[in-house]
Structure 1
């Protein structure tokens, strides 16, 4: 009996020692607040992302996190944020991202990356005469090299997405300083075609838009509405602009679709439908279901020919809007117009978020993979 009691006491003691050791092993110590944030960033992505290591190996990811943690005592807030951008880039999931912090400032200009180059579309009033001009270099570094540097910070899966996302990064002077492009943390010099140089300093300034005082094209006339429509060309065309996959507070998408149906039923002239998704960056793909069902009805009852359905897409067609484009393509084989979608047809999504404990930066990550197409094209236009 005494031996049995001693054995039980031995087991309990061993269990307590083992538990105590395990707790010591699980305790992670941090040198500073950023050290903790980087640890939480890496650990949460590893445990929460649908498939974090589809592009980067777990060993490389862990190595990058460990290296950045070792540097947090010497790097500035902006530099650590930039290093986190670089890690996000290697994941290669455009739905997984980290926000920029308040330590970043903004330069008073905006650009669009068009077929003929990087064009100024907004700038401070002092330099408004340069609206529409092409940027050939920044701080003496050619624009192609600038793009190569900045692309290492962006989570993108095709060139259209890069052309869209990069424009906001190009306004951040701290990034130019990080890459050694500018010696200053708050200014850069734009080198324009024709030998013109403009020095810009980070400050809150109202931008003059290239579109100020000009007649806007139809697709830019009402971009704040989630969805709206207009009859065109003596009511031969019905133009539907679908800007966001989200219900309006004042008009449900079901009611909106009913209005479209009533208009078509009352009209003797509408024979072609244009669905403009070029500004739709996503939301809930199921929102568009009533419209797609209505088109099915019209096609099945020979009220509308499939070849008279047109879909406009572009670099900002992303996420759920890409899924809706695929649904339209598979159901009706419509005529697609525009440029390749910024969203990849097969992609990660169903985004969730967490907040880093000290910097309070928000991190978005994917919880689902949408495998729509066997060939895995990089954009919608690669399918056609």
Structure 2
């Protein structure tokens, strides 16, 4: 028996040594995980007795958010707690829509794009008015509609419940943190729902939405849309704002919705061609166009190999231009683009241009990719399009999910600091570990050439940005 315990003790000692050795050898990674990826345990409050208890438990757990999220300033933490105190006083009285919006407002107090309540409840849980909105340079338009309201497709919205779309957008900005253009993008998800608009105090009823639109003759017309809640809505896949522009059926539409564009016979502009594909490459006029979306290395998104193929396929003498279209990219893991962004400028000929196409949907790792390309591309690089969905300085990175125990609303939180204008290494206590290794001072990440499409640009099937690029190619 003594021998047995000696053997067990020896094995335990070896495991401890091996673990210690592994930690020492990978201390940087271990330190990164410990610092930026917190373990969040679910609360053990017990089953709530009623609606009031359920909301009170969610609010109690939500108070822990600022223990993990570092984007809140001291004043914002105070405002956050004051807001939660007001929520707690109304526990049980709030409708689901009111509670969701109050949770969203609480998270948005830090005004950080990576600190937000999930937007999926806006289209999975709550009703909608049977239309999809999208902002263009010349205003808000209906780009898709349930077939009953097909005649509204392509009309400009000039009024929402008696208010201008711009004033409604301003009022909805409190429910999303981040840059103004990012908040505007996601505000339409709320604007499309009578239930959420009513909860926000912006609609008279939770069962209908009244709009004023301009018809084809430019005449104003008032229309009241009844609320719709569809079977299977709760299982819809993620819906990003740009997807309303697609020329094919979206999940859940099943041919029952009309849309501005239909690309079933081809002819889509490159940014909307085969939108279900995560990575699109086109060789044209001696140059190359690539449109990555999610920047993650997975079996279904092998971005490392796809980026490398673009580099390997460069013609002798180099590409005449490279257009990296990040308009539809929500981000991912920026370490997966490092080899590409460093090699891309070297694939251009001496007169070649590196075009970096951006929009308010260019976010997180996609924004970092744009900064990398601008930095490594030097004088050959130009950012063209619209301002991206975040500032050059922002908080990101996360750990285990932060999810409210009863409503199941998930809140994204941020633990690591980024500065892609000047760099944060040595200047900030929580400069993210990978930034210390890889960051570059890219300078301003605002577009050098500002271009925003109008509705008519979109409706014609044109891509004004690629038209310009191809016109001025070397």
Using the size of structure 1 for normalisation, the TM-score is 0.82
Q: Secondary structure at the match of 1:373?
A: coil
User: Once the 2 structures are TM-superposed, how far is the Cα of residue 160 of structure 1 from its aligned partner?
Assistant: 2.1
8 A Cα contact 1:355 1:363, kept in partner:
yes
Q: Bigger shift: 246-255 or 148-157?
A: 246-255
Task: Provide the rounded CA distance (Å) in 2 between the counterparts of 1:61 and 1:227.
Answer: 40
Q: CA shift at 1:322, angstroms? A: 0.6
Q: Deviations over 1:141-196 (max 9, x none)?
A: 22222112211212222x32123211212112122212433222121011112221
CA 1:351–1:211 in 2, change beyond 3 Å: closer, same or farther? Answer: farther
The partner residue of 2:262 within 212, 236, 239 is 212
Aligned pairs (5 A) from 1:76-225: 76-99=95-118, 101=121, 103-157=125-179, 159-193=180-214, 194-203=219-228, 204=230, 206-212=256-262, 215-225=267-277
Determine the structure 2 residue equivalent to 1:9. Answer: none
Larger Rg: 1
What residue in structure 2 maps to residue 226 of structure 1?
Answer: 278
1:338 is aligned, of 385, 390, 394, to 385
Instruction: Confirm or deny that 1:372 pairs with 2:420.
Output: yes
Partner SS state of residue 275, structure 1: strand
1:239 aligns with 2:292: no
**CA separation of 1:373/1:260 partners in 2, compared to 1, >3 Å: closer, same or farther?**
closer
- Is residue 381 of structure 1 aligned with residue 446 of structure 2? yes
The count of aligned residue pairs is 348
* Cα pair 2:287 2:322 within 8 Å, conserved: yes
Q: What SS does the corresponding residue of 1:264 show, helix, strand or coil?
A: coil
Is 1:60 the counterpart of 2:79? The answer is yes
Task: Encode CA deviations 1:75-107: one digit per residue, 9 max, x unaligned.
Answer: 222211111122222210111111364652222
Q: CA deviation at 1:244?
A: 1.6
Task: Assess, with a 3 A threshold, how the Cα gap between structure 1 residues 146 and 378 changes in structure 2: closer, same or farther.
Answer: farther
Determine the structure 2 residue equivalent to 1:253: 303
Displacement of 1:67 in angstroms is: 1.4
The equivalent of 1:275 in structure 2 is: 324
| Counterparts of 1:237 and 1:113, CA distance in 2 | 31
Give the match's secondary structure for 1:137.
strand
Q: What's 1:50 paired with?
A: 70
Residue 307 of structure 1, CA deviation? 5.1
Structure 2 CA distance, aligned partners of 1:218 and 1:162?
A: 26
Partners of 1:251 and 1:142 in 2: how far apart?
41
SS of residue paired to 1:380: coil
Report the equivalent of 2:407: 359
Over the aligned positions, Cα root-mean-square deviation in angstroms equals 2.8
Q: Distance in 1 between matches of 2:101 and 2:304?
A: 43
The answer to whether the Cα contact below 8 Å between 2:290 and 2:325 also exists between their aligned partners in 1 is yes
Q: Post-superposition shift, 1:351?
A: 3.0
Helix, strand or coil for the counterpart of 1:36?
helix
Partner of 1:285: 334
SS of structure 2 residue aligned to 1:39: helix
Residue 312 of structure 1 corresponds to: 357
Contact 2:320 2:352 survives alignment (8 Å): no
What is the SS of the residue equivalent to 2:225? strand
Question: In 2, Cα distance between the equivalents of 1:238 and 1:283?
Answer: 23
Please tell me whether the aligned partners of residues 307 and 335 of structure 1 are also in contact (alpha carbons under 8 angstroms): no
Report how far residue 62 of structure 1 moved: 1.5
Structure 1 unaligned runs (5+)? Answer: 1-26
Give the superposition deviation at 1:41: 0.8
**Judging changes above 3 Å, is the alpha-carbon distance between structure 1 residues 250 and 42 closer, same or farther for their aligned structure 2 residues?**
closer
> Which ranges of structure 2 fall in alignment gaps of 5 or more residues?
1-43, 231-252, 425-441, 450-474
Match of 1:38 among 55, 59, 65: 59
**Residue 263 of structure 1: CA displacement?**
2.1
Q: Distance in 2 between matches of 1:287 and 1:162?
A: 27
Q: Distance in 1 between matches of 2:344 and 2:160?
A: 49
